[in-house]
Amino acid sequence: MKKHNIEFSLNGEKVALEVEPSDVLLDVLRGRLGIKSPKVGCDRGDCGTCTILMNGKTMRSCLALAVEADGADLVTLEGANSRKWTQKLQKKFHEKNAFQCGFCAPGIILSATELLEKNSKPTAHDIKEAIAGNLCRCTGYEPIVAAIEETVKGK
């Protein structure tokens, strides 16, 4: 099959590579570019652990072809530190023990980052809705919601 030369920005750096039409973005990020924060979970868009930001919006990298990223601005957790809320969220998650195994954490931090960038005064319902697509099997979500609430309050 005809290969495609694509270029995109990944965590602020230009990346150029050749991909097959059937290459999945998540597999290219992890397998070829060494970006390991997006995880392979359900691999069909249900669990949210492969979440990255494409042009500022969260998306499932398991549900995109790599070739679709041509010209896009991609940010993974590795490069999200420059965003206003990401590090604050991480610190609060750490404090509140909102991670256990950590598998869902990169996706949840990015979903929460997107939420707070759009809405810095979210209600508990807004928070739950924002992370509804990110499954966590350890914490029961309560410490996660609390960590996001407290990040906003700046406690």
Partner 1 sequence: MPITAEFEYVKPKDMDEALHVFSFYREKARALAGGTDLVVHLKENLARPEVVVDLKALEELAVFEMKGDTLRLGALVTFSDLIASPVVKNKFPLLWEASLTVASVGVRNRATVAGNICSAVPSADSAPALAVYEAEVIVRGIKGERRIPIGGWFTGPKKTALLPEEIVTAVELKVPSRKNAGCYMKLSRYDGEDLAQGGVAVLAFSDNTYRVAVCALGPKPSRCPGTEAALNGSKLGEKVLARAKEAILQEVFPISDIRSSKEYRLHMTQIMLERALEIAVSRLFGKGPKYGTENIV
- CB 135, min distance to partner 1, A: 9
Say which amino acid occupies 98.
A
Q: How far is the CB of 14 from partner 1 (least distance, A)?
A: 20
Q: How far does CA 128 lie from the centroid of its chain? A: 16
C-beta closer to partner 1: residue 68 or 73: 68
Pair type for strands 57-60 and 51-54: antiparallel
Where does this chain bind partner 1 (CB under 8 A)? 1-2, 4, 21-24, 27, 40, 43-46, 48, 51, 57-60, 62-65, 67-68, 107, 111, 114-115, 125, 128-130, 132-134
In the complex, what is the shortest distance from the CB of residue 138 to partner 1, in angstroms, rounded to a whole number?
Answer: 17
Hey, what are 37's tokens?
A: 């924060």
Query: Do residues 148 and 132 touch, judged by C-beta distance below 8 A?
Result: no
In the complex, minimum distance from the CB of residue 67 to partner 1, in angstroms, rounded to a whole number? 5
The helix/strand/coil state of 124 is helix
Choice between 43 and 78, CB closer to partner 1: 43
**DSSP strand pairing (51-54 vs 13-19):** unpaired
Nearer to partner 1, 13 or 110 (CB): 110
Of 15 and 40, nearer to partner 1 (C-beta) is 40
- The order of strands in the sheet holding 4-10 is 13-19, 4-10, 73-75, 51-54, 57-60
